[in-house]
Amino acid sequence: MPADGDADRQTNLPSSPLPATPIPTANGNANGIGSLPMNSNFRLRLNPRQDHQPESYEDLQSEFTPLLFSSLERYLPPNLLNVTRDTKHRYMREVLRRYSTEGERNRVQKHREYRMRIISNYQPLYRDLYKLNATNFFTPSFIKAFMVGDHIRDESIKSIMSEPAPGVYTFNMLQPHFCEMLVAEVENFEKWILETKFRVMRPNTMNKFGAVLDDFGMDAMLEKLMEDFIRHISKIFFADVGGFALDSHHGFVVEYGFNRDIELGFHVDDSEVTLNVCLGKQFSGGELYFRGVRCDKHMNTEALPEEIFDYSHVPGHAIIHRGRHRHGARATTAGQRINLLLWCRSSVFRELRKHQKGFVSWCGECQRERRERLHQAVTAKKVELFRGQGEAAS
């Protein structure tokens, strides 16, 4: 997988046996190239070819998400960028299989079977929710920000965003009717669970209530949401954590209130970028509190004054932030609060992180330490200069 370095360099991947694969030239002709030997080192570029337009893999059946292939395609060697889609798909699939263990592949297959059992038995309440319809889902201001020319889209998106704290952005996103429909759909799913006594997986290890939307058929809709909207927002504000290469997601709804979860402890998300949208209903409390972005090394360091921020939920309004932005949720003291969350991930960034050492640009504490080292170096240089001037004068 890619690592930091010059864009024209390549990185060796593990050399495990692979079926010989003809590697065509840029025009798709394999003449003169021949088959690679069984133990050949397959390679990917260290940095993506940003001007390359990847193909869509939505219609292909695979154990990996289609967006992953589209994201990875920019890292292919130059002689593979313009070959047939099938050739690229087979090449990337074998690369990915080297990075996933047999146990992981078995886990993915079992989860796929689990989802199919739900989808084949659960009857949706509102089928319109299962296919993205921007006009029916989003507020006019949100849609308008994206429906402009490429050359002004970034500025248009920035115009609807507020940044109440560093790295935390808020905006009006969902229509009230969509929020009501989604809440009703989740309640209908919960009713089906009770009636059938079907054992479901909850959203994460910290929430005992809520539903994974991907598991009962909304994965395609949420993937489209990430691909068409959230990835563009993330490219603008979160490029330093892979926002330009989001290729998978985990979408779910959480529920807080009486007979539900009450609060959520201090944590970070298993995501590069997190979208959090309040769906309703009537409630008091439940504020989010943020305490700065941290890398693994500095996870337990104190928050700086400028990193302390509390956010009160408003139905239909979204908040988006880095997954490594430390946060928690205060107790919901009355009523019921329901939120939609989309954890967006980048396999490319996760691979890059394995090769990062020392300073991490998105970590608040790394930045503070760097500023302190720079200050110390400047101070030491001043002392040295003054000492030299004093010796010269004497």
**Boundaries of every domain in the chain:** 40-100, 131-354, 363-392
Q: What are phi and psi of 39, to 5 degrees?
A: -105, 25
User: Is residue 14 very low, low, confident or very high in pLDDT (cuts 50, 70, 90)?
Assistant: very low
Only one residue has tokens 């001007």, namely 51
Give the Cβ contact number of residue 376 at 10 Å. Answer: 10
> Which pLDDT score is estimated for 127?
96
> Which pLDDT score is estimated for 355?
67
> Which pLDDT score is estimated for 344?
97
> Which pLDDT score is estimated for 228?
95
pTM for the whole structure:
0.75
**Residue 11 pLDDT more than 60?**
no
Q: Which long-range contacts (CB under 8 A, 24 or more apart) does 27-33 make?
A: 27/82, 28/82, 28/83, 28/84, 33/79
**Residue 27 pLDDT more than 70?**
no
The two tokens of residue 333 are 């003291």
8 Å CB contact between 204 and 304: no
Which residues face 128 on adjacent strands? none
Higher per-residue confidence, 285 vs 347: 285
Please, what sign has the CA dihedral across residues 251, 223, 219, 138? positive
Which of 215-224, 225-234, 344-353 bottoms out in mean pLDDT, i.e. has the lowest? 344-353
User: Is residue 180 very low, low, confident or very high in pLDDT (cuts 50, 70, 90)?
Assistant: very high
Q: What is the 3-state secondary structure (H, E, C) of 314-383?
A: CCCEEEEEECCEEEEECCEEEEEEEEEEEEEECHHHHHHHHHCCCCCCCCHHHHHHHHHHHHHHHHHHHH
**Residue 28 pLDDT more than 60?**
no
Percent of the chain with pLDDT strictly greater than 70: 86
> Which pLDDT score is estimated for 330?
96
Using CA atoms, how far apart are residues 197 and 206, in angstroms rounded to an integer? 22
Q: Name the residue type at position 181.
A: M
pLDDT tens-place string over residues 238-280? 999 999 889 899 999 999 998 889 999 999 999 999 999 999 9
Which of 34-43, 77-86, 103-112, 328-337 bottoms out in mean pLDDT, i.e. has the lowest? 34-43
Architecture of domain 131-354: Sandwich (2.60)
> Which pLDDT score is estimated for 7?
34
**Residue 286 pLDDT more than 90?**
yes
Q: Which of 252, 250, 215 is nearest to 119 (CA)?
A: 215
**Residue 145 pLDDT more than 80?**
yes
> From the centroid of its chain, how far is CA 334?
32
> Which pLDDT score is estimated for 154?
96
